[in-house]
Amino acid sequence: QPHSSDTPGTAARRILRSTFGYADFRPYQQTIIEQLAAGEDVFVLMPTGGGKSLCYQIPALLRPGTALVVSPLISLMQDQVAALQANGVAAACYNSSLDGDAARQVLARLHAGELDLLYVSPERLLSDGFLGRLQDISIALIAIDEAHCVSQWGHDFRPEYARLGGLGEHFPGVPRIALTATADAQTRTDILRVLGLEAAQQHVTGFDRPNIRYSVLEKHKPFDQLLAFLEARPEQAGIVYALSRKRVDEVAGRLAERGLRAAAYHAGLPAGQRRQVQEDFLRDRLDLVVATVAFGMGIDKPNVRFVIHYDLPRNIEGYYQETGRAGRDGLPAEALLLHGQQDIVTARRLVDNTEDADQRRIELHKLNAMVDFAESRVCRRRILLNYFGQSLEQDCGNCDICLDPPERFDATVQAQMALSCVYRVGQRFGVKHVVDVLRGLDNERIRRLGHDRLSTYGIGSELSEQEWVSIVRQLIHLGYLTQDVANYSVLKLTERARPLLRGEQDLELARPRVRERSRGKRPRA
């Protein structure tokens, strides 16, 4: 406990060392801790792994009374409480996972003034009974973790969070701190407005994670691409994110069949099994966790060497947060995204199902930004940091685009072949069929349709399937072809295609990239 003669700064440092066992503060931590300990409101925007927890945990120990920590996920609370208890801090959680007895015990300790920190879910905190109880308890501070959940603009909006705005009035004079790792300018303004923290001290720290190397590969036989990546990095710890539980199970199963130390993690698995997977991963008994986004909030494993997105994430915030779980130890780490057209279609469909029109518009906007990132030929880090309102003066030198700028080639002839093939099949077929005809595949379907008698049948046999798919995709992105989303993604020519078909225009395209480049060039970290 603090000595009365300490300045807050020295007391904070002593707790950092004696209770948490760290030698020094990370950037920003000390100032934030001093402000909060002095009773000021604070807003913290700091990337995952930046060390946000200490920013309220140490003030909780410096100030008299119990600190309330609002957190959206039970598993997150449990992890934090367990870690605090292991350091000898009196912490507990209060949420729907407790049975009657355990809940009563926590409340008794709270009333006895024995708790330094109480982690609580927003719905518990805001319930009338609980707010009433808190009236005669000394509250040290209120921390609102994952504060982006208050904003519709955030990627993880939770209606209960939006009601936390009332806490300021309910606990006048109690300092509050809101923390998040992901917030674009709009979300950030929203957080401050909803929580009434416009006057708070704001700390927006750098978002760059220079040790993470970002790359994107065009998705083509994703499992093989995944295996190739893993084979080049034997026994390294990594997370593979996939969108659906089904895919998670399938990919994890196939990896395990090949003898890799991999397990699945998603919300459909029994709690005990999830806990086990998390535990095994933390203790290096597992190398790979294949997971939905349910995995990772609060995962604190420093030596995750890579994060792979097997499917396109739905927004950059989520993507950045997930990739941020790699390389927390500061050593070189990698983030690989497999980007496929079908994923965009699936994601758009999901967004279309969103009931609320405003929400739908926001989600679509965010999805489009994600797609632009994946398809861009510009330094990936520049795009990411720019998205979070931080601009980079120069290219980063540690992303796929910087390390290996896309090679361009004169694709006039191939584009003409592809466009005329789309025309010859009557603008009634999708990418795969057009590519099969170009390559002269001999199958029943093609013969039945008479497409083996077209002038474009087999004229592109010198290129591989993936090369053709890449060319056709680029023609779509550049507006020479459209894909009829409402009608089996059938390819159709646009006006722009005419001059190209008539030979009045040349076209350069980027060479397809479906395989990792040689690993000779290591990231500078």
Binding site for Zn ion (CB under 5 A): 379, 381, 395-396, 399, 402
**Torsion angle defined by CA atoms of residues 363, 380, 216 and 247, in that order, rounded to the nearest 10 degrees:** -30
Q: Which is nearer to ligand ADP, 49 or 238 (CB)?
A: 49
Return the one option of Zn ion, ligand ADP, none that residue 399 interacts with (CB less than 5 to 8 A, by type): Zn ion
User: In sequence order, what are the residues at sequence separation of 6 or more whose Cβ sits closer than 8 angstroms to the Cβ of residue 333?
Assistant: 211, 212, 213, 304, 305, 306, 307, 326, 327
Return left, alpha or beta for 7; rule: phi > 0 is left, psi -120 to 50 is alpha, else beta.
beta
Closer by beta carbon to ligand ADP, 26 or else 261: 26
Phi, psi of 416 (to 5 degrees): -60, -45
CB of 400 to Zn ion, least distance (A): 8
Listed in sequence order, the residues at least 6 apart from 82 whose beta carbon sits closer than 8 Å to its beta carbon are: none
User: Contact, 226 vs 251, CB < 8 A?
Assistant: yes
> How far is the C-alpha of 201 from the C-alpha of 198, rounded, in Å?
9
Residue among 384 and 472 whose Cβ is closer to ligand ADP? 384
Of 48 and 456, which CB lies nearer to ligand ADP in the complex structure?
Answer: 48
Which of residues 46 and 134 has its CB atom nearest to ligand ADP in the complex? 46
| Residue 396 near which of ligand ADP, Zn ion, none (CB within 5-8 Å, type-dependent) | Zn ion
357-375 vs 316-323: helix axis angle to the nearest 10? 60
Least spacing, CB of residue 185 vs ligand ADP, in Å: 20
Positions that interact with ligand ADP (CB under 6 A): 22, 25-26, 29, 46, 48-54, 300
Long-range pairs of 444-450 with CB within 8 A, sequence gap ≥ 24: 449/425
With CB under 5 to 8 Å by kind, the binding choice for 71 among ligand ADP, Zn ion, none is none
CB-nearer residue toward ligand ADP: 205 or 470: 205
Taking the complex as a whole, the smallest distance from the CB of residue 53 to ligand ADP amounts, in Å, to 3
Shortest spacing between CB 524 and Zn ion, in angstroms: 11
**Whether the Cβ atoms of residue 242 and residue 248 lie closer than 8 Å to each other:** yes
How big is the CA angle at 334 (ends 332 and 339), to the nearest 5 degrees? Answer: 165
From the list Zn ion, ligand ADP, none, pick the one residue 402 interacts with, judged by a Cβ distance below 5 to 8 Å according to partner type: Zn ion
Write down the least CB distance from residue 471 to Zn ion, Å.
25
Closest distance to ligand ADP from the beta carbon of 298 (Å): 7
155's tokens: 């990627």
**Residue 223, binding choice from ligand ADP, Zn ion, none, Cβ under 5 to 8 Å by partner class:** none
Element spanning 435, H or E: helix 431-439
Of residues 336 and 399, the one with the C-beta less far from Zn ion: 399
217 binds, among Zn ion, ligand ADP, none (CB under 5 to 8 A by kind): none
Token pair 């966790």: residue: 289
Name which of ligand ADP, Zn ion, none residue 52 binds, using a CB cut-off of 5 to 8 Å depending on partner kind: ligand ADP
Least Cβ distance, residue 85 to ligand ADP (angstroms): 15
Three-class secondary structure assignment of 216-237: EEECCCHHHHHHHHHHCCCCCC
| Contacted entry of ligand ADP, Zn ion, none for residue 54, CB cut-off 5 to 8 Å set by kind | ligand ADP
| H, E, C per residue of 346-373 | HHHHHHHCCCCHHHHHHHHHHHHHHHHH
Instruction: Please identify, using beta-carbon distances, which residue of 212 and 475 lies nearer to Zn ion.
Output: 212
Provide the minimum distance between the beta carbon of 381 and Zn ion in the complex, in angstroms, as a whole number: 5
